[in-house]
Amino acid sequence: MAKTILAVDDSSSLRQMVAFSLKAAGYNVVEAVDGQDGLDKAKLQNVDLVLTDQNMPKMDGLTLIKTLRTLPGYAKTPILMLTTESSDEMKSKGRAAGANGWLVKPFDPQRLIEVVKKVIG
Amino acid sequence: MTRKKILGSHVKRLMSGVSVHGRRHLTEVETDLLQTELLLEEAIDKLSASFMAIHGTVAARQAAIDSLLDGAAPTLEQRELLSGMSREIGEHVNAAITSMQFQDMTAQLIERTLRRVAGLRDFLGTLSEHGADIAPETDSDEIVDRLGKVSMALAVQSLELRSLLRRSVEQRHLESGDVELF
């Protein structure tokens, strides 16, 4: 059965490109427009991996990760950040919040798929 | 210090504050706009190249298909060529996807610029508000007091704006970014 990835980004074009790339590699993709929407969708169905942006309205990526980590179904779910933020300080914050990896935008679809495969198969 | 000198020093402080903070914010606006311009220029160059390459590969593929439709038996070389074209198209599409992400980055830069411009407008509004009710007969002590307050308000507003608008887009090129697994 195809694995499901929750893609959280406030940029519709970015979500579209992430979804296009991951679907082409055989994954199901659920899209969310910001951290709050991502949290709501994560509660509705358990996903195999969360891929989230950092700077978003309503709820940012770090808050989303911290909140997801308090939910029983998401204690060990892989969570990757996909963001324009590239400073070591932000990466450390992401790691402390519970992220499993950090991808700096812009992403290369092939590289993204390789990373996802490495993380969830 | 005489009253006249005190007033003069407060006017100087206010004018210098407006100038320093205003220039600092405008420099940031200029930097963000230049970064936006760089990203847009590179995006259009790379996207044009990707689309032209896709067009070229699709046209070559169509020519190969037409030849097969005309009854020519596919040689091993033609099979490899057709198979290679799929990979080639895939690579061009991937490159285009990377370049298309300029929108996400430039949108953040433009939003930052707009918020800074709005902040500068509020900054100038504060200056106008504080000066609006200074009457010609207002004594110099009160003017000194008002100038001190407006200088302080402007400095606070400017600092708040600077901390609010932390730079989150450092990219100046559309090369794929780093990946780090923890």
Res B36: pLDDT: 94
Radius of gyration over alpha carbons of chain A, in Å?
13
**Residues B155, B21 contacting (CB under 8 angstroms):** yes
> How many residues are given for chain B?
182
Best mutation target, A83, A108, A113, A119, to test chain B (most B CBs within 10 A):
A108
Domains of chain A (ranges, CATH numbers): 4-120 (3.40.50.2300)
Provide, as residue numbers in chain A, all residues whose Cβ is less than 8 Å from the Cβ of B168.
Answer: 54-55, 84-85
Interface of B with A in 67-106 (CB under 8 A): 93-94, 97-105
Residue B48 forms part of a structural domain: yes
User: Is there a contact between B168 and A55 if contact means CB atoms under 8 Å apart?
Assistant: yes
Provide, as residue numbers in chain B, all residues whose Cβ is less than 8 Å from the Cβ of A111.
Answer: 176, 179
For the whole prediction, is pTM greater than 0.90? no
Q: Complex ipTM, two decimals?
A: 0.85
What CATH code is carried by the domain that includes residue B91?
1.10.287
Alpha helices by DSSP H, A25-87: 35-44, 61-69
- Residue-wise pLDDT for A82-107, tens only, equals 999 989 999 999 999 999 999 999 99
Instruction: Sheet with A28-32: list strands edge to edge.
Output: A28-32, A4-8, A49-52, A79-83, A101-104, B179-181
Residue B124 forms part of a structural domain: yes
Provide the number of CB pairs (under 8 Å) joining chain A to chain B.
89
Residue B157 forms part of a structural domain: yes
Res A71: pLDDT: 93
Residue B67 forms part of a structural domain: yes
- Residue-wise pLDDT for A31-72, tens only, equals 999 999 999 999 999 899 999 999 999 999 999 999 999 998
Residue B179 forms part of a structural domain: no
Best mutation target, A51, A92, A107, to test chain B (most B CBs within 10 A):
A107
Nearest residue in B to A18, CA atom: B97
- Point out the residues of chain B with pLDDT beneath 50: none
Task: Count structural domains, chain B.
Answer: 1
Nearest to B177 among A14, A100, A105 (CB): A105
Q: Which range of residues forms the domain containing residue B11? A: 3-164
Provide, as residue numbers in chain B, all residues whose Cβ is less than 8 Å from the Cβ of A60.
Answer: none
Residue B53 forms part of a structural domain: yes
Locate tokens 């009854």: which residue? B71
Res B122: pLDDT: 86
* Helix or strand run (H / E) with residue A28: strand A28-32
Full DSSP string of B120-180: HHHHHHHHHHHHHT--TT--HHHHHHHHHHHHHHHHHHHHHHHHHT-------S-S---EE
